[in-house]
Structure 1
Amino acid sequence: MRFISYAIGNEEGVGIKSGDGYRGLPAADLGGDLQSFLGRQTGLVDLGKILDAAPELAMSEVTLLPPVVRPGKILCIGLNYRAHAAESSFEVPTYPTVFARFANGTVAHGAPLVRPNASNLFDYECELAVVIGTGGRHLAKEEALNHVAGYSVFNDGSVRDFQMKSPQWTMGKAFDETGAFGPELVTPEELPDGCRGLRIRTILNGEVLQDANTEDMIFDVATLVSTLSEVMTLTPGDVIVTGTPDGVGALRNPQIWLKPGDECTIEIERIGSLTNPVVQEGTR
């Protein structure tokens, strides 16, 4: 199943892929948004049955939202592809490098990514997003994938000079509207276990700049879920952003930075494409 979160005016709703379009209902009619169904044992199955009988959405009237609109946590993993660790001149880590993003820094498919006035060093990062369903603490690796509600596409847009102002990277990832998430939440039965072996790419203005495979991950999805749950309780709707492969703009020669007028697409095989224009802060 493939779900979207959307708005029509000020009213949020949830939709499900149906043929070439979507069927959907207002969250108020469903008794909650998509996130509210994630922690229930059969929540998405039940939601899918309801939405399969819903009216077709007129997509021209719809504004897409991130699949999880108000995640409790967005946990990002750095240096999680072997080739990216190598291009960054870091040793392959033996424990995940974790930093945070926040919901106000994330926009939906089709919405503008905003290059901040504070810096021109705005970079792209194609990443697989993992959305937690039934949460928990101390989740065993062999059970971890049972706690995943679905997968999506993420652009972990990074303001590189702010990222490198300190040993902690969060400030470079925390600017408003610099990351993108969506368009769909794809449930696990449509995908290989842990999304292993999927092609992942960044395409900037029609040029492929990152082209890799999730098989190159150092820490797979099950390991990440289990490791994070050792420290904190994972809750429904939490998002784990699993790292970027090699080919980021900062490490190219010459460097490539996102600028106003660009269009950046992140593609993950069998999950979908996430496309966003780039604008300058204060110009909309």
Structure 2
Amino acid sequence: MKLLRYGARGAEKPGMLDAKGQLRDLSAHIPDLAGAVLSDLSRLKEIDPESLPLVGGSPRIGACIGNVGKFLCIGLNYSDHAAEAGLRVPREPVLFAKYTSAICGPDDPILIPRGSEKTDWEVELGFVIGKPGKYIAEADALSHIAGYFVANDVSERNFQTERSGQWSKGKGCDNFGPIGPWLVTPDEVPDPNNLQMWLKVNDQLMQNGTTANMVFKVPFLVAYLSQFFTLHPGDVVITGTPPGVGMGMTPPRFLKAGDRVSLGIDGLGEQHQLCENDA
């Protein structure tokens, strides 16, 4: 299934795509794609999408998950990206967090913060926890995932690495966490560790990679994270980016107002964002 949320920001409704790619309203069956609903999406498979109300027009597509709990991020998870950053491949996953106020829809604008000099892009595979757990065995890890999605880990490199403290100040700005367009259930993603991914800026291909090159694979990440804290339904994890980010170019290239960013992952949909200066 391809599930999504649509409507004005803060008032999104749950939806489902039918076989023709048309948006259908799910709000008579679930209140939102959030929380406990994510722990058992299997019952939605019993619904005939054609029986659901067709949503007309072109509504805004919101973040594919509502009421996110933890927004967990893995850094330097592609060896070739670590190399372009001038850093070694870590022995254990690099863990940081985005703030939930960074979450936005897949086509909402990228807001370039005041004082930004180095706003950058990162296409990433994301997943959301459905079944809660702690100390999860790697062999059982995939059963805890409710679905997968596309993410852009927008990053301000000056805030992140040159202004002291943790990475999060350069990772958690408003609209730095577009997720979606769809939450794709695991039955449609037979191997999350073998997905093509890409990102373009102003139609120029910048990133062209595959999740097959992740250092730490999805099952390991679920098990690893659960050793430190309980994973709850609605917790999201984004898993790192392949090479081709702006800071790795010679000379470095960063986003400015008016730039257009497009990105996607095979089977998980695409995002399209216009860069704007934050007010």
Which of the five TM-score ranges fits, normalised by the shorter chain? over 0.9
Change (3 A) 1:8 1:155: closer
Q: Is the 8 A contact 2:262 2:272 kept in 1?
A: yes
**1-side partners of 2:48 and 2:256: how far apart?**
39
CA gap of 1:211–1:184, structure 2 versus 1, over 3 A, is: same
> Which structure: greater strand fraction?
1
Give the aligned residue type for 1:14: P
User: What does residue 249 of structure 2 align with?
Assistant: 252
CA distances 1:139-176 after superposition (whole Å, capped 9, x unpaired): 00000000001100000000110101225211100111
Q: Deviations over 1:220-252 (max 9, x none)?
A: 000000000000000001110100111110110
1:76 aligns with 2:77: no
What is the letter of the counterpart of residue 174 of structure 1?
A: G
Query: Superposition pairs for residues 33-112 of structure 1, below 5 Å?
Result: 33-40=32-39, 43-50=40-47, 52=49, 53-60=51-58, 62-112=59-109
> Any stretches of 5+ residues in structure 1 without a counterpart?
none
Give the match's secondary structure for 1:189.
helix
1:201 corresponding residue in structure 2: 198
Give the corresponding residue for 1:182: 180
How many residues were matched structurally?
276
Evaluate the alpha carbon distance shift between residue 239 and residue 211 of structure 1 in structure 2; reply closer, same or farther with a 3 A threshold.
Answer: same
With normalisation by structure 1, the TM-score equals 0.92
After TM superposition, what 4+ stretches of structure 1 lie above 4 angstroms from structure 2?
8-11
Structure 2 equivalent of residue 6 of structure 1: 6
Q: Note if contact 1:136-1:234 (Cα within 8 Å) is conserved in structure 2.
A: yes
Counterpart of 1:238 in structure 2 is 235
Judging changes above 3 Å, is the alpha-carbon distance between structure 1 residues 145 and 59 closer, same or farther for their aligned structure 2 residues? farther
> Percent of aligned positions with the same letter in both sequences?
37
Task: Determine the C-alpha separation between the residues in 2 that align with 1:147 and 1:20.
Answer: 27
- Which residue is equivalent to 2:124? 127
Alpha-carbon distance, 1:270 to partner: 1.7
1:109-151, Cα deviation, whole Å (9 max, x unpaired): 2211100112121000010001111111000000000000110
Comparing 140-149 with 43-52, which one deviates more in the overlay?
A: 43-52
| Distance in 1 between residues matched to 2:278 and 2:10, nearest whole Å | 24
Answer whether contact 1:109 1:275 (CA < 8 A) is retained: yes
Specify the alignment match of 2:190 in structure 1: 192
Q: Which amino acid aligns with 1:117?
A: R
- Does the residue aligned with 1:266 lie in a helix, a strand or coil? strand
Please, which runs of 5 or more residues in structure 2 have no aligned partner?
Answer: none
The alignment yields a C-alpha RMSD, in angstroms, of 1.6
More helix by share: 1
TM-score under structure 2 length normalisation: 0.94
Shift of 1:48: 3.9
